[in-house]
Amino acid sequence: MLVNLLRDLAATLDLPAPRPEKPGSACPGLLRIVPALDGGICRVKLAGGVLSSQQARAIAEAAERCASGVLELTNRSNLQIRGVLPGQQAELIERLLAAGLGPSSPAADDIRNLLLSPAAGLDSHALLDTRPLTSALLDLLQSTPALHGLSAKFAIQLDGGEALAMLEHPHDIWLSALPGTPARLAFGLAGCPTDKPLGVVDIGQAVPLVEQLLRLFLDLAGNEHSRMRQLLSVIPAHQLLQQLQTRLPFALQAVPLSWQRTSIHPHPALGIYPQQQAGLCMVAASSRLGRINAAQLRALTELAEQYGDASLRLTPWQGLLLPNIPEPSADKLLHTLAELGLLIDAQEPLSNLIACTGSAACAKGLADSKADALRLAERLRTSTARPHVHLSACPRSCAAAHTAPFTLLASSAGHYQLYQRTREAAGFGQLLASAMTIDEAGDWFAAHCATGNSNA
């Protein structure tokens, strides 16, 4: 098994041993490279989605030397190296660890799943700078062996009230800043900050709250309950909350009746955004269907050093954001990002499409979803329709943690079912067509989602 091979190689090179693979888990990690049709996949989990330029350069070099040079930006603000070559896994891991991209202990690689806004600490709408609490929560996760049994998919969201925030991806635990002082956080389970919270804590109580929630989850969850929503299907939230309260040395507070987290920028971050810091701004762009190459990443590091603070932030919209850019330089930088091949305009049809790996590199794929997405974008270019569409080559929906407004789900090579998100229908939504070619789908969107149409 690949993980055993990796463990042997790691031992030879005096590297930390990879965490044992859980039955049924195919999630890649930095220390667990999983095979795909185009080679191994190595997932690098980034603290707060942030990469220094030195780390980004190290990734670009490692991806070219040990893999195909193809990089994926994930919807959790992480990064994946694709096409890892046979015999190169140990060197790749060694390079990434040397760049400071590994976990503080090998067993903690999988559980570093904490999403924040890519604009944390910078966004002019933010109620709270979430970065200090993020560090404390990541320390808790990594330094507490009892929590290392969590699923690699178990994830926490920490929302500071930023305008640039992903509020559609459900998380097992979410915390969201409330307005006012002293700083307080609403929290909820198996959902998003736009949902009804279960309670409120002071900011100083957030770490013990999360620790006790995680311990309670692990105590109650059976083998079949790897995610919070699964546990809540057998134990109602109010009962969980009662049990939680008995473990806490402070009282959970009631949720203010008037509070409701609303989305300020509901669409992918593209373009120039103001910062709290006078004279500075953030410049954001999107990748093409979640992928960039090592040469692009290297060019981005140079731009971050030339224009910004030598850091990059990955966004949950599979894009990148360069922070702390002097305002007079922002336009020039944005256009340089476009010249690099990144997307900077929501009117570009590809900006609104997401697609999983598909049959070109995933054995489960029924269709080449990335190639079909490119074809769909070309078809849409001749119309005013700019629909938000997720193309998925099988029902596992790897590319989207949320339900997109429209989903094209492959039923065979070149044919897709078309779904539209509705409040009433679960899953991908309401089935509108059971077998469309991509060209037929393009024509359908052109007819139903053109500017001025109520579906648009």
Binding residue (CB under 6 A) for ligand SF4 from 365, 387, 429, 442:
365
Mark the segment that binds ligand SF4 (CB under 6 A) among 221-229, 263-271, 335-343, 395-403.
395-403
Minimum CB separation from ligand SF4 for residue 356, in Å? 3
Binding residue (CB under 6 A) for ligand SF4 from 392, 407, 417, 420:
392
| Residue closest to 38 by CA, chosen among 357, 354, 297, 288 | 357
Binding residue (CB under 6 A) for ligand SF4 from 153, 291, 364, 421:
364
Of 138 and 394, which has the nearer Cβ to ligand SF4?
A: 394
Does the footprint of ligand SF4 cover residue 394 (CB under 6 A)?
yes
Of 52 and 68, which has the nearer Cβ to ligand SF4?
A: 68
Residues with Cβ within 8 Å of 134's Cβ and at least 6 positions away in sequence, in order, are: 47, 48, 114, 116, 120, 158
| Crossing angle of the two packed helices 131-143 and 206-220, in degrees rounded to 10 | 40
Rounded-to-integer distance, Cα 283 and Cα 269, Å = 9
Of 300 and 361, which has the nearer Cβ to ligand SF4?
A: 361
- What's phi and psi for 48, nearest 5 deg? 65, 15
Cβ neighbours of 365 (radius 10 Å): 22
Does the footprint of ligand SF4 cover residue 393 (CB under 6 A)?
yes
Minimum CB separation from ligand SF4 for residue 361, in Å? 8
Of 370 and 379, which has the nearer Cβ to ligand SF4?
A: 370
Of 311 and 397, which has the nearer Cβ to ligand SF4?
A: 397
CA distances from 172 to 14, 43, 169, 178 (A): 35, 20, 10, 20
Does the footprint of ligand SF4 cover residue 267 (CB under 6 A)?
no
Amino acid in position 108: A
Does the footprint of ligand SF4 cover residue 357 (CB under 6 A)?
yes
In the window 272-311, what residues touch ligand SF4 (CB under 6 A)?
none
> Total residues at the site for ligand SF4 (CB under 6 A)?
12
Minimum CB separation from ligand SF4 for residue 437, in Å? 18
Does the footprint of ligand SF4 cover residue 362 (CB under 6 A)?
yes
Rounded-to-integer distance, Cα 181 and Cα 107, Å = 38
Does the footprint of ligand SF4 cover residue 407 (CB under 6 A)?
no
The contact pattern for ligand SF4, residues 308-347, with x = CB under 6 A and - = no contact, is ----------------------------------------
Mark the segment that binds ligand SF4 (CB under 6 A) among 51-59, 89-97, 170-178, 387-395.
387-395
Does the footprint of ligand SF4 cover residue 80 (CB under 6 A)?
no
Of 218 and 360, which has the nearer Cβ to ligand SF4?
A: 360
In the window 107-166, what residues touch ligand SF4 (CB under 6 A)?
none
Query: Which residue bears the tokens 């002082």?
Result: 181
Take residue 9 and report the two structure tokens written for it.
């190689």
Minimum CB separation from ligand SF4 for residue 63, in Å? 19
Contacts of 90-94 spanning 24+ positions with Cβ under 8 A: 90/6, 90/9, 90/10, 90/12, 90/13, 90/15, 91/62, 91/65, 91/66, 92/33, 92/42, 92/62, 92/66, 92/67, 93/6, 93/10, 93/15, 93/30, 93/31, 93/33, 93/42, 94/13, 94/15
Minimum CB separation from ligand SF4 for residue 373, in Å? 12
Rounded-to-integer distance, Cα 326 and Cα 281, Å = 6
Classify burial at 183, counting beta carbons within 10 Å of its beta carbon; exposed 0-12, middle 13-18, buried 19 or more. Answer: middle
Does the footprint of ligand SF4 cover residue 397 (CB under 6 A)?
yes
Of 196 and 396, which has the nearer Cβ to ligand SF4?
A: 396
Of 119 and 362, which has the nearer Cβ to ligand SF4?
A: 362
Of 74 and 134, which has the nearer Cβ to ligand SF4?
A: 74
Residues with Cβ within 8 Å of 349's Cβ and at least 6 positions away in sequence, in order, are: 376, 377, 378, 380, 381, 386
Rounded-to-integer distance, Cα 217 and Cα 150, Å = 9
Does the footprint of ligand SF4 cover residue 39 (CB under 6 A)?
no
Does the footprint of ligand SF4 cover residue 396 (CB under 6 A)?
yes
Rounded-to-integer distance, Cα 161 and Cα 261, Å = 8
DSSP state of 72: E
Binding residue (CB under 6 A) for ligand SF4 from 133, 356, 374, 376:
356
Rounded-to-integer distance, Cα 369 and Cα 36, Å = 16
Site residues for ligand SF4 per CB under 6 A: 356-358, 362, 364-365, 392-394, 396-398
